[in-house]
Amino acid sequence: MLNSIRKHKENIRNELRTHLFGKQGLRIRRSVDIENVIVQQEQVQSAVRFKDAYVLQEQIGEGAHSVVRKCYKIPKQRSTKSLMPKSIQVFAVKCFRTDDPEIVNTIIQTFNLQRQLQDIPQVCRTYDLFIDQQTKHHYQVIEYCDSPNLEQVYRNLTLRQKQDTIKQLAQIIAQIHARGISHRDLKPENILIQTEPNLQIKLIDFGVSKRFKYRDTFTEMWTATGTILYQAPEVFLGGGYDEKVDIWSIGIILFQLLCSTLPFYAETISETIEQITSPDPQFQYSKEFLKLNQVQRDLIKRLLKPHPHQRLSAEEIPLHPWFDQENYVDVSSDDMILAQDIMIGERTMSNQIGTEITEQQFQNLMDSLEWGRRIHFIQ
């Protein structure tokens, strides 16, 4: 009897395997949450290959495990004269070739996570995933964005544009974190930007993104991944980490925008990691950092706290006075004047600023002002 039941279960598994994979490969159009063992497939078509639905075009980029090319969707009603009518739909496609099951699973997980962020306009959309077990060629069809990345243009941005960039980035990350997902590879190359008519950014490359929360259950992340120059110290120290690694990366990007250099950089990887994990970060003594005004320095230091729980959350970042257009007028802002008055009474700002107000005193004052009362800090 038991043998009969086992045989029946095995037959069911084989039928499912044949149905899902077959000889032509697997096409996934909706979420397949391998990580949380949740399958929400709305359409699986084993008979459809990538080449049946899209036409590959020129290469437009390259990643660690994939090549990015432009592609066109083949219309259902094709003219005999041309495969590319005027109303052709243009997409980008990440092309992988691997038979490593771990990499294939990562591709599927990435597709799944991005599908859960489809309603966020500032996140690059993903449309189709083709897993071909026979040829080992896999294709993830994504939104085509004809915009430069932040690394290419940040030196030409105005201060106001830099403020808008960081503010939008924090708002996007706040939405992603609210859904229990951490990007884990925030850097200028993964931020597309357009400045006209209004500045808008779009976040791309969720290849190492990870779910850290499912419903009310939090899970620590352990894998050392991302780009070293933008990685948080806890990634290297072991013991697990949470979504605050994204906040650290925002701090690195902000430093780069304002100082035109990176806060942590050495000739070797080990020396760079040593700088990042130092309990007393040396960037705060650099000439580039000291040239910034106190409001700018205050925000950077709040993002680059060595202890993750002391960093601002993504929701808190836009509340900082640096983003307030009315109040932010370099060192003569209203908050600065108020802080000055509290510290030195009737003395003039020009004689006292930078001499009697220490960095710690200024940070305490910022916490006591209206902005500080709006959010809660854990020291």
Just list the catalytic residues: 185
Q: Is 29 exposed, middle or buried (0-12, 13-18, 19+ CB in 10 A)?
A: middle
| Distances in whole angstroms, Cα of residue 90 to Cα of each of 54, 125, 139, 141, 224 | 10, 13, 15, 10, 35
* Helices H / strands E in the chain, number of each: 14, 14
Other beta carbons within 10 angstroms of residue 101's beta carbon come to 8
Helix (H, G, I), strand (E, B) or coil at 339: helix
317 vs 321: CA distance, rounded Å: 9
| Distances in whole angstroms, Cα of residue 84 to Cα of each of 28, 57, 73, 195, 204 | 25, 12, 9, 31, 27
Whether residue 164 contacts residue 61, with contact meaning beta carbons closer than 8 Å, is answered with no
Is the bond into 306 cis (omega within 30 degrees of 0)? no
207: which 2 tokens?
A: 């290849």
Chain-centre distance of CA 191, in angstroms? 8
Q: Is 113 exposed, middle or buried (0-12, 13-18, 19+ CB in 10 A)?
A: buried
Angle at which helix 334-344 crosses helix 294-303, to 10 degrees, equals 100
198: which 2 tokens?
A: 């209004």
Helix (H, G, I), strand (E, B) or coil at 193: strand
58 vs 79: CA distance, rounded Å: 23
Other beta carbons within 10 angstroms of residue 282's beta carbon come to 11
Quote the DSSP letter at residue 60: E
Helix (H, G, I), strand (E, B) or coil at 267: coil
Q: What pairs with residue 93 in β-bridges? A: 69, 141
